[in-house]
Each structure stands twice: as structure tokens, then as C-alpha cells.
Amino acid sequence: MAPAAFLSSCSPMHDDEAGMEAVKDAWVEVYEALDRHLLFPSKGQCHNDNVQLEGSSAKAWMESVVPRHALRLLQKAGLGSLAVEYVADCMDHELARVVKPAFWEHFDDVGAGREEAENITEMQEHRRVSPHWVIGYMGAALSYADQALRERRAKLAMVAELVVPAEAGRLEDMLRTRLAAFIFNTAPDEFYDWWAAFFETSLRAWHWQWRRQRRQRREGRDGEEGSEEGDIMMSAEEADDAGYEEDEGAWEDWGVHAEEVETALKALRRLHWLPLVQSTITSVVKRETENYIERTCAGVYDEPCLRRVEAWRDAVLMPWLAGLLGEEEEVGGEQTGRGPWTPSAPALGTPHAPPLTSSFHEWRLRHSFVMQECFVRVRMLEMFDIVRDYPDTVAAARDLRAALEVTQQHRQLAACLCESMRQRLLHVGANTMQVLDVYIATIQV
């Protein structure tokens, strides 16, 4: 917007015509200085040549290029914030016209990447995607958005700190909110599918790395007496191997992508986009929990399974989630500080990480309930077998009783068991003794 037009749209205005002309001249000086040195440096000396966009040196540089006498005249006229409003308007325009299109350009080749992924159809049926394309596209887009926003926030902050320091934080948050609105309001229908693929791939990769480390530790401890907790984890790992052998080749080169994922997650947190994709994270966590329970607990009645799932949650899921949210994970009273991409890496968060919609503790409590709910749902379908084979299935019955105390799904369980009995017991082929045996076992369970 031209200086005169922008100035005429602002208030208050001077009644004195001479005074108004002086204010206009002052604004033109400030306007040209901002354009030449900050907004469009091709017109003059680029700010990047001699100064960083952040810190005390940036403020000193800004004071040197913006005419102080003109700025004081604007402030005296009650128009001191005019320069800030102009820069904010320019930055908002750039976010909409430059950053948003460039962000979506990172996904132009998503279709081609999915076609190039080996056996992609079969992998998608198992809710897996190639880490090569999903991590690459999402990581590059997030990193670009983060860098673009930081540059524009820094420019706005330089001017705000000079004129209205108290408003600097609010204006920076405003730019962040505007960028999120531009991106998510123009997102294609499959955008959340890409998010799900990104989180799911990172969780599976983290799971694979954990399993590989467990194997290495087990090989190093052969012949040594392990702890009870170690026995539970080894049992979980052995049961889990059956469902992941086909993934070995997919994750062997994961180290190449680990740094990309870490960079992408840092950008995601700085952009404050985690609350916008929280429902997707919840869906991924729930789905992976269901898959793990079905893979390791279904059909296993002679040994406790619920503790195995809890051990997997504490060793795999919670550390991954803590790294994703940028928080220190706390298990057993100790902070592990493990991030999601390398089991021995420090946590990815910082002491000044932005506030999350839900704290890690709330996530843990919520998942504890979801885990018990998924466990009951799997056992519901097997309740007839558990009753029929009792007391050989006493371990499964105890696990189910413990989970029901949390979820209170007794009515659904009873309805499911009645339906199973009608289909599998109350038919012409069942003799009286079979019916009586199941009836007695039902009372005992």
C-alpha cells in the first residue's frame, strides 16, 4: 500500500494541515527505510549482510536505519504503531501469497512417491507407508514453514521492539496463527492422512529400533539371570517378532531419516501445530495399541498378557510420545529423557517449549484407559473360548477382570458372550454334557 493511502486509513489525524504534512513526510521516511532495508532489501543494503534478525544487534541495526526523528514525530502524533502495522500487513500478505503456495509445492510429487514405493498397496493394507516419501515430503514442508515464519516474525519483532515493545509477543503470535489458518484452511482432503502416515511411520520405526536394541541386549546377556521385568519384555518382544519380520528391510536404513524426523518435529512444535493434529495423533496411538494387543495377546490364555502390554507402553509408546510432544518422559519415578528416534538420544523438547493442548501426564492417563478398552474388546471376541477352557485360561480371566474394573464394559461383555453361546453352543450338534460343562465354567469364571 502506498504511504499516503496507508496513512489516510489510520487515525487519529492532525487538525493542523502543516502538522499533518509533517507527519506524512515522517511516515514516508519511515516507510522508505523499512522497504529499503527490511522488507525489500533488493532496493538497498540487505539486512542479512551485516546483522542477524534476532537479538540486541538487530535492535541496534534497526535503530540505525530507521530515522529516529521521523519515528518520534509519528509517536508524538499518536501514530507510533503505524510502522508496526505496516510491517505486520506486509508479513501477512507474504504468508498468504508466498509461504502458503511454497508450502503446498512440497507435496506436488506425493502421488508419484506413493507409486514408486515398493508394494505400496500391500503396505497400506497393513497401515504402513514408505518412510522414504512420507518423511521426506512432510519434513521438508514443515522445515520450510518454520523457517519462513521465523524470518517474518523476526522482522516484525525488530520493528515492534523499537516502537511498542509490549505488543511484540502478541504480534508474533498473530503471525503464527495466521500461517496456521492459511495452511489448514486450504489443506486437501488427504492432508490428515499424510499426518497419520508421518506419525505412524515414526512410531513403527521407533518400535523397530527398540526391538533391535532389545535383541542386542538379550544376546549380550545370554546365560545371565534376568529380572522379572526383563522376562516380561523379552516375552513381549518374542511375541511381537511374528508381526514385524516383513518390516526389517523397510527400517534398516532408518538412521538416514532419523535426523529428518527430529528436525520436522522441532519445526512442528515451534509452529504450534501440535494441537491442530492432536486428534490424528490420538487415532494413530489407538490404532497401534489395538494392533499390538491383537498381535501379541489374541489367543494367548495361559499367561498374563495385560502386563506385557503395559510394559510395551512404558518402553515404546510413552517414550515415543514424550519425544513427539517435546517433554521429558518419566517412568518409574525417573526421567528417561529419551526422544523418539534414537532410544538413547536426549529428549527433543526445550525448557521453553510452547504449551501443549494436553500435558504428557494427561496423555498417559488417557492412553491407559484406551489400552484397557482395547484389551477388553479383543477378549470379548474370545470370551467363549476363555469360559470353555477354564481353568486353563485363568490368567486370561484375571487380566480381563482387572481391565473391566477400569472400563466398566460388563454389559457389552455379557451381550457378546451370550451371542457367542447362541452361535457355538445352543445348536443341534451340542450335547447336554457340553452345555452343562460350559454353564459350570461360566459360573466359575
Distance CA 161, CA 182 (A): 26
Other C-beta atoms closer than 10 Å to the C-beta of 406 total 14
Contact predicate 157/176, CB 8 Å:
no
pLDDT for the residue numbered 149: 93
Confidence check: pLDDT of 340 > 50: no
Which amino acid is residue 392, in one-letter code? D
State the SS3 of 194-220: HHHHHHHHHHHHHHHHHHHHHHHHHHH
For the chain, give every domain's residue range: 3-184, 203-213+229-439
Cα–Cα distance, 142 to 144 (Å, whole number): 5
How many beta carbons lie within 10 A of that of residue 302, not counting itself? 11
Worst-scoring range by mean pLDDT, 39-43, 153-157, 278-282?
39-43
Cell 528391510 locates to 249
pLDDT digits (tens, 9 = 90+) for 128-159: 445 567 788 888 899 999 999 998 888 888 77
% residues pLDDT > 70 (the chain): 57
Q: Fill in the DSSP letter of residue 35.
A: I
Instruction: Assess whether pLDDT exceeds 90 at residue 100.
Output: yes
pTM to 2 decimals?
Answer: 0.71
Which residues sit opposite 331 in a β-bridge?
Answer: 334
Q: What is the pLDDT of residues 361-406, one digit of tens each?
A: 888 888 889 999 999 999 988 888 888 888 888 899 899 999 999 9
CA distances from 218 to 212, 249, 381 (A): 10, 21, 34
Mean pLDDT over 284-296 rounds to: 91
DSSP-assigned beta bridge partners for residue 335 = 330
| DSSP 3-state of 386 | helix
pLDDT of residue 372: 92
50-64, 384-398, 428-442: the lowest-pLDDT one? 50-64
